[in-house]
């Protein structure tokens, strides 16, 4: 029974925490992808008096329960395209509340982010969306609501600080072709090779520790391959003086071809996300740029 009290100012309804002590409670088992301990706080329990209801249908006696949930959620994704990767981050809510199985129905097709995520290395896309899935566990169907946001890594800093320096090392190595003495050529090439090895150890903590090759790893390995190819070309040209121009031309042609293919591949990977396939629907995405003073949105056609 609801006690006679005026509506609250925070929501359209009457608070009744005291009147409903047995209301469903969230727990860590309600979040399948939660990592660590969650802090769950019951904000309010109220009886809605609006006419909208759920999906435009008025539901008599509709109860609204607000919970504040604070925690860390994990998401598995591939870093094979690093630093041009894009991901879908999600929070899973399972329909197991206080040991009871309930039916979950999203009120809207997408949700609003009232607090901006602290992802300074990523571009965030709108809208954050909510979908409803149905899973079978122990011969008992359970609902699961998935709230997701699309993000894309900002690759400009990695391009300048890593790829740009490696590109410069390759360019400097080609100056050895202008020297006549093999000793001078080997001195320049080996010095640059040792510099590239030292640079790899310096940036090791900036690269993701994964057991497969990322896009950045492929470019890093290509630098070592071309430095070794320059050394081989210098030795071969000293043994075949008449073929020096042909050998140098082959090395430059291979280097140019690789960078053209790599550039085209990068342009394909770094293209802005325009659509996302979510819950069987195609959503048009809007990229959100944020700084300390203002937040503006770029609409993608």
What is the residue-level pLDDT of the chain in tens, covering all 301 positions? 444 444 444 444 444 555 555 566 677 778 888 887 777 777 777 766 554 555 555 666 667 777 788 888 888 888 999 999 988 888 888 776 555 556 666 666 556 666 566 778 888 887 777 666 655 554 455 677 788 888 889 999 999 999 999 999 999 999 999 998 999 999 999 999 999 999 999 998 889 999 999 999 999 999 999 999 999 999 999 998 888 899 999 999 999 999 999 999 998 888 877 766 665 566 677 777 554 333 333 333 3
All CATH 1.20.58.390 domain ranges in the chain, comma separated: 156-269
CA distance 11 to 50: 10
CA-angle at 142, arms to 65 and 39, nearest 5°: 45
In eight-state DSSP terms, residue 110 is B
CA distance 278 to 281: 5
- Predicted confidence at residue 291, as pLDDT, reads 44
Tens digits of residue pLDDT in 201-247: 999 888 999 999 999 999 999 999 999 999 999 999 999 888 889 99
pTM for the whole thing? 0.74
CATH T-level assignment (fold) for domain 156-269:
Methane Monooxygenase Hydroxylase; Chain G, domain 1 (1.20.58)
Tens digits of residue pLDDT in 47-73: 665 545 555 556 666 677 777 888 888
Q: How is 212-233 classified by DSSP, letter by letter? A: S--HHHHHHHHHHHHHHHHHHH
């Amino acid at each position: 029974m609801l006690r006679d009290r005026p509506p609250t100012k925070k929501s359209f309804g009457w608070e009744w925490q005291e009147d409903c002590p047995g209301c469903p409670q969230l727990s860590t088992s309600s979040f399948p992808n939660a990592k660590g301990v969650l802090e769950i706080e019951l904000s309010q329990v109220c009886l809605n008096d609006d006419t909208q209801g759920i999906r435009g249908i008025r539901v008599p006696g509709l109860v609204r329960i607000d919970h504040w949930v604070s925690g860390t959620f994990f998401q598995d994704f591939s870093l094979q395209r690093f630093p041009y990767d894009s991901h879908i981050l999600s929070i899973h809510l399972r329909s197991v509340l206080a040991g009871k199985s309930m039916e979950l129905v999203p009120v809207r097709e997408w949700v609003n982010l009232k607090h901006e995520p602290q992802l300074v290395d990523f571009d965030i896309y709108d809208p954050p969306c909510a979908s409803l899935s149905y899973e079978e566990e122990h011969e008992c169907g359970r609902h699961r609501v998935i709230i997701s946001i699309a993000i894309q890594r900002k690759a400009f800093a990695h391009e300048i600080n890593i790829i740009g320096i490696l590109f410069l090392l390759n360019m400097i190595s080609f100056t050895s072709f202008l020297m006549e003495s093999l000793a001078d050529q080997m001195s320049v090439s080996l010095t640059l090779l040792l510099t590239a090895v030292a640079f790899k150890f310096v940036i090791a903590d900036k690269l993701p520790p994964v057991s497969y090759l990322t896009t950045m790893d492929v470019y890093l390995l290509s630098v070592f391959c071309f430095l070794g190819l320059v050394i081989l070309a210098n030795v071969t040209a000293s043994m075949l003086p008449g073929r020096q121009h042909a050998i140098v031309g082959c090395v430059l042609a291979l280097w140019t071809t690789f960078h053209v293919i790599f550039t085209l591949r990068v342009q394909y990977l770094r293209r802005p996300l325009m659509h996302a396939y979510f819950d069987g629907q195609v959503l048009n995405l809007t990229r959100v740029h944020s700084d300390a003073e203002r937040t503006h949105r770029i609409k993608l056609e």
